[in-house]
């Protein structure tokens, strides 16, 4: 019977002839069908993925060179374009819209012989931390169905958590890969801003958005990141420089200089068990001769306000294109252009998206621009400067991924501000552009998983992934 632990193990089985790509796709299609109630997928490419698997099997039988992700079964978030497939950002305003091109990330996956099995549910336009803001309904956490899986990439996280694919892609604007990974007990990595092209990623906040990876282990994250990253002429924000191979052969001989953000760990919002677990981890690391030092980070209380001012401002601009004129949902009862725009956007967008568009429009408006938007940009600059200073001293910074384990379903819908404040630990890396990863190490007394978040200096994914791999292999409880 087919089973999966890692892409490397799967490739060994393939090349020994013990399994085929078709076996793998059959296995996952059956599991997806059995797990429909989780609502992780918005569309499954069943016949197409099976046909591709058979083509890849024939390719291997002919002795042709196989790609780095040969036969790997991948799911993608419903904000990533895949030519001739629907991409809706889980919004009614893009219902039944079909992509005209591949995103660069999808192109890279296909060139390296991956199999894309379906697109995953998410918060509408990637706005949310619970995956309850979707026109397709909420995604269920496979470990406890009355809990949320996190957001916005909740469907992609649950697809890996429940074993419905090998790896998946999400997008991370303020923690939308790392926080669901934390809530679901899997690995989730956001690379440096500009590591992966945003071409073909539906924009939320363009200076924050980055495609990330979910997997059951760090090695698979590294394999996928190594494939989807790289230079791209379609995205001017991509780092065009040649990068080091994501080699994560870890050794216990490697010792790290680790900074712990004390006022993040001591913050009043943090669950006591999470706080104690991170301090215990720090003690174990110190005992094993890693350098540990606590540092105060004075700007922590400015992080969430600055993030929401800047991202809502960018989203109000990015989402202006959804007007019903060229594509997507359009109201057919309006009799003038003003009411046409109003009705189309009011009916097409969900409550959370409308809330953020209105907030973004407000902070960009005359009389408030300098008080909010300009001030938030100044805070962002200070964050970047202070973070660069930290990484002159440390290899890694560790802090929580989220202030609690997975929320009860419906809890955050009653108070959006509480949901925004819950992003306190993840939005930091998006404001500064640093790579960050959530590593599943612990189990709470409420039986839900939680992890620790690690951040590295920009473009040092190698150190980040090696450190994460070391933690997962040596300190997982």
Q: DSSP string of 175-224?
A: STTHHHHHHHTSEEEE--TTSB--TTBPPSSTTT--EEEEESSHHHHHHH
Which strand ranges, in their side-by-side order, compose the sheet holding 211-215?
41-44, 115-120, 73-77, 167-171, 211-215, 187-190, 436-443, 449-456, 396-400, 257-261, 291-295
Distance CA 230, CA 320 (A): 29
- Which candidate, 197, 243, 229, places its Cα nearest to that of 102? 197
Q: Which of 49, 77, 103, 129 is catalytic?
A: 77
Cβ neighbours of residue 355 closer than 8 Å, sequence gap 6 or more: 416
476 in helix, strand or coil? coil
Sketch out the chain's domains with CATH numbers. Answer: 7-228 (3.90.1300.10)
DSSP state of 124: G
Note the pLDDT of residue 371. 94
User: Tokens in use for 153?
Assistant: 């990439």
How far lies 108's CA from each of 230, 256, 290, 430, in Å? 10, 33, 37, 24
CA distance 33 to 26: 11
How many Cα atoms are found within 13 Å in the side-chain-facing hemisphere of 192? 21
- If you compute the radius of gyration of the chain from its CA atoms, what whole number of angstroms results? 22
- Please indicate whether residue 49 is annotated as part of the active site: no
pLDDT of residue 250: 64
CA terminus-to-terminus distance, the chain = 29
CA distances from 159 to 114, 168, 200 (A): 16, 7, 21
The residue from 152, 168, 197, 404 that is catalytic is: 152
Which residues touch 432 (CB under 8 Å, ≥6 apart)? Answer: 380, 383, 384, 387
Q: Looking at residue 251, what is its pLDDT?
A: 64
176 is catalytic: yes
Does residue 119 sit in helix, strand or coil? strand
**Using CB atoms within 10 A of its CB, is residue 36 exposed (0-12), middle (13-18) or buried (19+)?**
exposed
Grouped pLDDT means (10 residues each) for the chain, 477 residues: 95 96 98 98 98 98 97 98 98 96 98 98 97 97 97 98 98 98 98 98 98 98 97 94 78 88 94 98 97 94 96 97 93 94 96 97 94 97 97 97 96 82 95 98 98 97 96 95
User: What whole-number distance in Å separates Cα of residue 154 and Cα of residue 141?
Assistant: 8
Contact 235, 104 (CB under 8 A): yes
C-alpha 91/C-alpha 69 separation (Å) is 31
Q: How far apart are CA 374 and CA 54, in angstroms?
A: 55
- For 15, phi then psi, to 5°, come to -75, -20
Please give the model's pTM, rounded to 2 decimal places.
0.97
Active site residue 77: yes
Selected catalytic residue, list 20, 49, 153, 176: 176
Q: What angle do CA 406, 409, 412 make, to 5 degrees?
A: 85
Compute how many other C-beta atoms are within 10 angstroms of the C-beta atom of residue 72: 26
Q: How far apart are CA 106 and CA 199, in angstroms?
A: 10
* Residue 120: predicted pLDDT: 98
């Amino acid at each position: 019977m087919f089973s999966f632990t890692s892409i490397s193990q799967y490739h060994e089985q393939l090349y020994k002839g013990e399994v085929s790509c078709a076996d793998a796709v059959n296995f996952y299609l059956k599991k997806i069908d059995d797990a429909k109630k989780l609502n992780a997928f918005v569309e499954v490419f069943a016949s197409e993925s099976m046909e591709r698997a058979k083509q890849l099997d024939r390719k291997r039988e002919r002795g042709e060179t196989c790609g780095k992700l040969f036969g790997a079964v991948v799911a993608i978030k419903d904000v990533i374009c895949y030519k001739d497939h629907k991409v809706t950002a889980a919004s009614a305003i893009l219902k039944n819209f079909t992509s005209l091109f591949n995103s660069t990330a999808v192109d890279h996956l296909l060139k390296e012989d991956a199999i894309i099995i379906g697109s995953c549910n998410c918060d509408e336009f990637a706005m949310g931390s619970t995956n309850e803001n979707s026109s397709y309904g909420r995604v269920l956490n496979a470990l406890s169905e009355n809990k949320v899986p996190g957001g916005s990439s909740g469907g992609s996280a649950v697809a890996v958590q429940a074993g419905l694919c090998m790896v998946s892609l999400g997008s991370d604007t303020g923690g939308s890969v790392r926080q669901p990974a934390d809530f679901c007990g899997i690995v989730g990595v956001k690379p440096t801003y500009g590591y992966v092209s945003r071409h073909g990623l539906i924009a939320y906040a363009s200076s924050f958005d980055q495609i990330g990876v979910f997997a059951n282990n760090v090695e698979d994250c590294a394999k996928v990141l190594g494939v989807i990253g790289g230079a791209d002429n379609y995205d001017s924000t991509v780092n065009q420089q040649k990068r080091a191979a994501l080699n994560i052969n870890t050794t216990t001989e490697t010792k790290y200089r680790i900074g712990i953000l004390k006022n993040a760990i001591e913050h009043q919002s943090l669950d006591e068990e999470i706080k104690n677990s991170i301090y215990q981890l720090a003690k174990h690391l110190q005992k094993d001769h890693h350098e540990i030092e606590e540092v105060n980070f004075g700007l922590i209380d400015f992080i969430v306000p600055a993030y929401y001012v800047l991202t809502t401002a960018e989203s109000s601009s990015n989402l202006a294109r959804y007007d019903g004129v060229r594509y997507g949902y359009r109201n057919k009862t309006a009799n003038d252009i003003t009411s046409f725009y109003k009705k189309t956007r009011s009916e097409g967008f969900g409550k959370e998206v409308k809330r953020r568009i209105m907030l973004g429009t407000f902070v960009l408006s005359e009389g408030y621009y300098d008080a909010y938007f300009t001030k938030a940009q100044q805070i962002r600059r200070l964050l970047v400067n202070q973070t660069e200073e930290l990484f002159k001293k440390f290899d890694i910074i560790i802090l929580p991924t989220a202030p609690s384990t997975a929320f009860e379903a419906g809890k955050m819908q009653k108070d959006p501000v509480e949901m925004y404040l819950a992003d306190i630990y993840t939005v930091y890396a998006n404001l500064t552009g640093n790579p960050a990863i959530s590593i599943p190490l612990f189990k709470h007394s409420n039986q839900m998983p939680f992890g620790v978040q690690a951040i590295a200096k920009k473009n040092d994914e190698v150190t980040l992934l090696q450190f994460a791999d070391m933690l997962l292999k040596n300190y997982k409880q």
